[in-house]
Structure 1
Amino acid sequence: MTTTARGERQYRQYCGLAAALDAVGERWTLLIVRELLLGPRRYNELLADLPGIGTNLLADRLKKLCAAGIAERSETGAGHAYRLGPRGEQLREPVLALSKWGIGLLGEPSADMITRPHWALLAVQAMADASRLPDAAETYEFEVDGESFHLTVDHGALTTARGPAEAPVLSIRTDATMFVRIGAGAIGPFEALATGKLTFAGDPDAVVRCSTVLGLLERPGSHGGG
């Protein structure tokens, strides 16, 4: 790895992966992209949801992302915000795929680990596969630490959106840590229901269907309720 005149470290390899890592491989960069995947974010919002990054480092990473066309700075009525640019949008599928792969590396969280409710939506986007339930046409609503989003499957097609659903067949309520624990396989969905930290309203059979779409029943030790 070499260092440019501006102090940036680069691999100097004629390879797509090396070029990608030159652009987004620095610490914190992909986590900033993760935050922007859900829409424009103000600087202070990014700072709050990335504890430990430091204001100078965040400013530096945003500057580099904007220079590379990965992020853009846009003006809003309350100042300015950052959003993904065209190159940044191209990172959506790779980042979600990497997130799905990383979920399998998670175990029980330690006391010093933090989570955010909006990360649950990204986890759903990474894990959900509507082809697992090709004949279904229904919506599942999630409320995680007071933030709502929903997942709709429609004969193999899949959409997600923030906010409550109009007519969900199933509404699930839990906290962010429990949601990630379920996604990581640290606890099964029916075990989570038994703890009382995950509750639902709606069709009981839809719990199985939702778990199927999210791939939760494919994990070792997962089983249906009865």
Structure 2
Amino acid sequence: MSPRRSYDQYCSAARALDVVGDRWTLLIVRELLAGPRRYTDLHADLPGVSTDVLASRLKDMEREGVTTRRRLPPPGAAYVYELTGRGRELLPVLQALGQWGQTELGERRPTDAVRAHWFALPLLRSLEVEGLVEVRLEEGDFHLYVGAEQGPVYGDGPAPREPDARLAMDTDTCLLVGRGELSVPDAVRAGRIEVTGDGAPAKALREA
């Protein structure tokens, strides 16, 4: 195994970039914040990454203690990758980076890939309720574990159980909320977010 490349600078930011500064590494973290993922699932949701680069990054991340790999029990019997506690500590880093990069989005380019769950982290930062929240966009559904301290913070597709609230909105509204230009309560009052569900979070959002 080749030695880790380093900036050789006695600076915490430089040391952090030694670990997660390579291309694709933080996007792999973004995907693994949804919980354990198989290699094939990661590759499918990281359009543009080569199989060699993905395998190399995963090995580096495991070596650095950011991820771990384990084998699922039968009948699954497949290997999955997941974040360690140290890896999960990158959530606020990714959220801050995403917030900083919101102004770079602009109009979607014809070559831009998109997955519904890529909107999860900006929206997660904007919700002030706690519980399981399902979100419906034109691009698809995802769900958020708002306030979760352990386990995944979001997931692709519909919620695995009855959510505490369901939010339906268009992509423009989701982008505005993620950028902090529109609050969730204001979007609900303006009719830009439809809230359904009987849980406390749904009631709180409707009454805000």
| TM-score (ref. length: structure 2) | 0.72
Give me the whole-angstrom Cα distance separating, in 1, the residues matched to 2:104 and 2:176.
Answer: 11
Alpha carbon RMSD of aligned pairs, Å?
3.7
- Is 1:143 the equivalent of 2:136? yes
Task: Give the one of 69, 72, 76 matched to 2:68.
Answer: 72
Which residue of the partner structure matches residue 108 of structure 1? 107
Give me the whole-angstrom Cα distance separating, in 2, the residues matched to 1:167 and 1:67.
Answer: 38
Which residue of the partner structure matches residue 57 of structure 2? 61
For the pair shown, the structure with the greater C-alpha radius of gyration is 1
The letter for the 1-side match of 2:86 is R
The letter for the 2-side match of 1:179 is C
Give me the whole-angstrom Cα distance separating, in 1, the residues matched to 2:20 and 2:88.
Answer: 13
The letter for the 1-side match of 2:78 is G
SS in 1 for 2:104: coil
| TM-score (ref. length: structure 1) | 0.67
The letter for the 2-side match of 1:117 is A
How many residues in Structure 1 have an aligned counterpart in Structure 2? 190
Which residue of the partner structure matches residue 117 of structure 1? 116
| Percent of matched pairs sharing the same residue | 35
- The answer to whether the 8 A contact 1:10-1:22 is kept is yes
- The answer to whether the 8 A contact 1:115-1:176 is kept is no
SS in 1 for 2:61: helix
Give me the whole-angstrom Cα distance separating, in 2, the residues matched to 1:101 and 1:208.
Answer: 31
- Is 1:173 the equivalent of 2:173? no
Instruction: Tell which has more relative contact order, 1 or 2 (C-alpha 8 A, sep 6+).
Output: 2
Give me the whole-angstrom Cα distance separating, in 2, the residues matched to 1:7 and 1:137.
Answer: 43
Unaligned runs of 5+ in 1: 131-135, 153-157, 210-226
CA separation of 1:147 and 1:112: change in aligned 2, threshold 3 A: same
Unaligned runs of 5+ in 2: 197-201
1:94, CA displacement in angstroms? 1.8
1:61, CA displacement in angstroms? 0.4
